[in-house]
């Protein structure tokens, strides 16, 4: 099984991916762990893409993150795509929840050397910049192109219902 998880920042993609990974016993790659270096510096594009390609060579994978450069390849290879198409305020409150849970700690879904913090530019990204017309058009393209294998989550309860439908045995909320 090959699964791509894409969507807006701070929507819960990584938490969901970890749950799917545990449920199906499939390796997961959180793109944030390879896209960023310490102190939120961006990794070399060829390194990031090489690691994504290495994961895509496996028989089974879950790749979490939108990272546009290789999204087409991942989505074509994926057996199932999950799109987290949450509203901006849901994502913002997801960021706050994550911050208070991991404040000054290292999340396992983020590159080493990046303890959890709230950065004003990231808040701006979540609320405005990451929701510009090009992103909305990209998600619309995903929905139209991959309609046979895409599941769209518009609210957190959709995620919970999906996890219940596959008989996921762990916690259904966003506790980790």
Per-residue pLDDT of 31-82, as tens digits, reads: 988 888 777 777 888 988 999 999 999 999 999 998 887 788 899 999 999 9
> Domain extents for the chain?
2-165
Q: Is 42 helix (H, G, I), strand (E, B) or coil?
A: strand
Sign for the pseudo-dihedral over CA of 72, 73, 74, 75: positive
Of 3.40.640.10, 3.40.50.300, 1.10.645.10, 3.30.1370.60, which CATH number belongs to 2-165? 3.40.50.300
Distance CA(8)–CA(13), nearest Å, equals 8
Per-residue pLDDT of 131-150, as tens digits, reads: 999 999 999 999 999 999 99
The model carries a pTM of: 0.91
Phi, psi of 159 (to 5 degrees): -65, -45
């Amino acid at each position: 099984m090959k699964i791509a998880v894409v969507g807006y920042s701070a929507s819960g993609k990584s938490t969901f991916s970890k749950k799917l990974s545990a449920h199906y016993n499939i390796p997961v790659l959180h793109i944030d762990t390879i896209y960023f270096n310490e102190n939120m510096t961006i990794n070399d594009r060829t390194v990031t893409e090489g690691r994504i390609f290495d994961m895509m060579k496996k028989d089974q994978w879950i790749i979490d993150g939108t990272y546009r450069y290789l999204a087409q390849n991942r989505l074509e290879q994926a057996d199932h795509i999950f799109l987290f198409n949450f509203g901006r305020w849901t994502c913002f409150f997801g960021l706050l929840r994550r911050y208070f849970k991991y404040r000054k700690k290292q999340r396992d879904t983020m590159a080493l050397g990046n303890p959890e913090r709230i950065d004003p530019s990231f808040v701006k990204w979540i609320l405005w910049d990451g929701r510009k017309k090009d992103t909305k058009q990209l998600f619309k393209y995903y929905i139209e192109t991959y309609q046979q294998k895409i599941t769209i989550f518009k609210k957190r309860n959709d995620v919970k219902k999906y996890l219940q439908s596959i008989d996921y045995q762990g916690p259904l909320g966003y506790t980790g």
